[in-house]
Amino acid sequence: MSGYVGPVGGAPGQAAGGPATGGSAARPPRWGRQTSIVQPRQPAYWLFLILAGIGALVFLIEAAAMSTLTTAFALSWALMAVYAVPVAFVIYRLDLFEREPKSMLAGAIIWGGVIATSLAIIANEAWLSVIGKVTSPDFATQWGAAIVGPGVEETLKLMGVAILFLIASDEFDGVMDGFVYGAMIGLGFTVVEDVSYFFTAAAALPGAVNQAGPVIDTFLLRVGAGGLYGHVLFTGLTGIGFAYLVTQRTVALPKRLAAAALCIAAGVAGHAIWNSPLTDFVLDTPSGADPSVLQWILWGGLKGLPFLMLLGVLVVLATRSEEAGFRTIVAGEPDAMVVTDHEMSALGSLWSRRSARATAGRLYGRMAARLVGQLQAAQIEYALVRSRSDSLADPALDAQRLKIRWIRSQLAGTPYMPTVLLPQPSVAPTPSAAGGAPLQVAGPTVVPARPQATPAPPIHLVPRGGMAAWPTPDGSRLPAVVLPERLQLVVEARSGAWAEVRAANGWRGWVDGRLLADRR
């Protein structure tokens, strides 16, 4: 539709132009400029590669030992994939406004699964040996994991967040980024560590006849009872603390240091409590039988639920901060069709986005739900494009505006779609020598349908291929929407070749009246 020439002053001949431009508003961090993890000029990148090589060597040695029990090996990785894929998807989707580069996310998983785990194997064994010698073997067996694991493993995983920051500091522009990278590092660590536990359980059986049984039992214990409270939680907390320190530059340094220390301490404390025997009394049974499923759930909840709730609160606060950034980016947009206040509020959480789509689907069908989802994605993409643009007249922004208008035009053709989803500018025609002057946009309003005359006016149809519609009879402006073919319209008024039309849902606009077809 960008090449369509609309009627001006009663006759075609003036090409559609771009929207009015204004001055640039204060700009938050440029979300639209994404950085790859491949940064040869950064020393941290080469440190990452060296440590990844060392970790890969240790990883391959461990994997070679596991491969002797092929059933346990294959089943372990398959079960962890069932767990890890949806968790990674949730972490990725929780970053609502500015998704991180996939190469950086892959680097986070590699650090957690290859580098941190391999280095932790060496460090944990060394420190457990020291504790056993300083105290006693029994104390080391009971409390060693709670003392050594959190300090060693959380330090190594937090180092990964710091290395990613040194490689691509531009990708750390909010607290949410620290959560995403920390959680991905924790997920990589969890996958490799749990596979090791599964294989160890299978190898412990004499002759290893039943390889699947121990793997499944250990999976249910570690993932079923504790999957919500593991390394994703711990490093998510420490990552938030690190990101707060390096991104919130407007906050005084002492306050940033204190907040970061509290978050990191919470991650370490959660790990320590999880590894400790403090809640093992919940698993005691009078007859010495195996604990029930309810006991395992209660055991995991007592250890990890408070920290999971804390992480949830911090993620919500981080999301609100990003929503404020989104509002700052789109502020001053001259096109009222880009995003309304209601739609902006609906973008604020996964739940509200899904609720908006579900409501549209329930009331107006699956197509409406799909279109609302496309509209949300296009609005987020618009913010990314604008955040890297230096001018409101950027052609990339114009293209994104047209994309949003196109989606709205599809919504206009959805049966019984209310006008609340189709914001219309409040306009007042001002005659001029050219036959129609550009009109000022006062803001999105819902224009009520005019009472139908008696007898009922004739119905016209949008021709095959659809047609453009404008908010005013001015073809020098970009079309407001593209109407789908065979949409029924009533002609309310005419001005030369222009026709003011009304749809069944109350929407109004101006079209080239010569293109309308009579209803057959």
DSSP collapsed to 3 states, 253-311: HHHHHHHHHHHHHHHHHHHHHHHCCCCHHHHCCCCCCCCCHHHHHHHHHHHHHHHHHHH
122-143 average pLDDT score: 88
pLDDT above 70 (res 514): yes
Q: What is the pLDDT of residue 456?
A: 64
Q: What kind of fold does domain 449-518 have according to CATH?
A: SH3 type barrels. (2.30.30)
Gap between the Cα atoms of 85 and 102, Å rounded: 14
Give 80's pLDDT tier (boundaries 50, 70, 90). Answer: very high
What pLDDT is recorded for position 19? 30
- pLDDT category at 10 given cuts 50, 70, 90 is very low
pLDDT value of position 30:
63
Query: 494: helix, coil or strand?
Result: strand
pLDDT of residue 67: 65
Candidate from 109-123, 173-187, 245-259, 293-307 with smallest mean pLDDT? 293-307
Question: What is the pLDDT averaged over residues 281-287?
Answer: 76
Mean pLDDT of 280-287: 76
248-263 mean pLDDT: 93
Query: What average pLDDT is seen over the chain?
Result: 80
Query: What pLDDT does 37 receive?
Result: 92
Domain residue ranges of the chain, discontinuous segments joined by +: 43-328, 335-421, 449-518
Summarize pLDDT for 437-491 with one digit per residue, the tens.
333 333 333 444 444 445 667 888 888 777 888 888 887 776 777 777 778 888 9
Residue 20 clears pLDDT 60, i.e. is over it: no
Six-digit token pair at 56? 């890969």
User: 125 φ, ψ to 5°?
Assistant: -60, -40
**Local structure of 406: helix, strand or coil:** helix
Q: Residue 96 — φ and ψ, nearest 5°?
A: -75, -35
Say if strands 424-425 and 444-445 run parallel, antiparallel, or are unpaired.
antiparallel
| Percentages (nearest 5) of helix, strand, coil residues in the chain | 60, 10, 30
**Which range scores top for mean pLDDT: 28-32, 184-188, 245-249, 503-507?**
184-188
More confident residue, 68 or 254: 254
Is this prediction's pTM over 0.85?
no
Q: How far apart are CA 134 and CA 78, in angstroms?
A: 41
By residue count, the chain amounts to 520
Kindly indicate the confidence band of residue 181, based on its pLDDT and cuts at 50, 70 and 90: very high
How does residue 51 score in pLDDT terms, banded at 50, 70 and 90? very high
pLDDT of residue 267: 95
